[in-house]
Amino acid sequence: MEKLLWCFLVWISFSNAFGQKDMSKKAFVFPKESDNSYVSLKAELKKPLKAFTLCFHIYTELAKTRGYSIFSYATKKQFNDILVFWSFGRGYLISVGGPEIFFNVPEVTMTPVHICVNWESITGIVELWVDGKPRVRKSLNKGYSVGTEAIIILGQDQDSFGGGFDANQSLVGDLGDVNMWDFVLTPDQINMVYVGGTFSPNVLDWRALKYEAHGEVFIKPQLWP
């Protein structure tokens, strides 16, 4: 009972702290390794997710050094309801509802990268798109529903609801253009997003982002086109 009350209080404190801002042409900058620097986001969710697409730009030098968390979506029941994580030597780790799979990438570059991840419950199919190019589709947690009342964290991995951060898993670099939909975008739509187009994000919208920055996180002009 005490643990559930603590989780509820943590969620309420996060929910009441958000401002909204148009982040067009801007990026969050995480300049150094830390266990207390992160960005929390507020999503527009009224029912459990049966599908989603998540897209973002990331620019970091860590890929050849160690793993790091990019996007962590935790609920009280499941701390890894959605997790996008770079795993050193294995590629992009995608978790939905706890189970996880890996997408290897043929080349690790030190330039900005555009990533899109999508998943649907009805088939369990998950896709990873890197700079507008798809990797081979895989299967992940068919029939699952992603919960609501979530805490969404950029730059840290939640090992508890809203916390449990590890500096060795923190992002050091730039992160921007974070958009999320409650459905799977088509290949044409993903390519439109990749080249800078918009497609009315209805879960997280970079142009009307509700967020709170914690620790040493800065907002600077983006370094990609």
β-strand partners of 116: 55, 129
Residue 58 pLDDT > 50, yes or no?
yes
Residues 203 and 209: their CA atoms lie apart, in Å, by: 10
* pTM for this prediction: 0.91
| Cα distance between residue 131 and residue 94, in whole Å | 17
Work out the percent of the chain whose per-residue pLDDT is above 90. 84
Measured distance CA(204)–CA(224) in Å, rounded: 20
In the DSSP assignment, the letter for residue 223 is S
Listed in order, strand segments (DSSP E) in the chain are: 19-21, 26-30, 38-41, 51-60, 68-74, 82-87, 91-96, 100-103, 113-120, 125-130, 133-134, 138-139, 151-154, 173-181, 209-214, 218-221
Residue 8 has pLDDT above 80, yes or no: no
Is residue 73 predicted with pLDDT exceeding 50?
A: yes
160: its two tokens? 């508890």
**What is the tens place of the pLDDT at every residue in 115-145?**
999 999 999 999 999 999 999 999 999 999 9
Chain center to CA of 56:
8
Instruction: Using DSSP, state whether 155 is helix, strand or coil.
Output: coil
Give the span between the Cα atoms of 126 and 124, in whole angstroms. Answer: 6
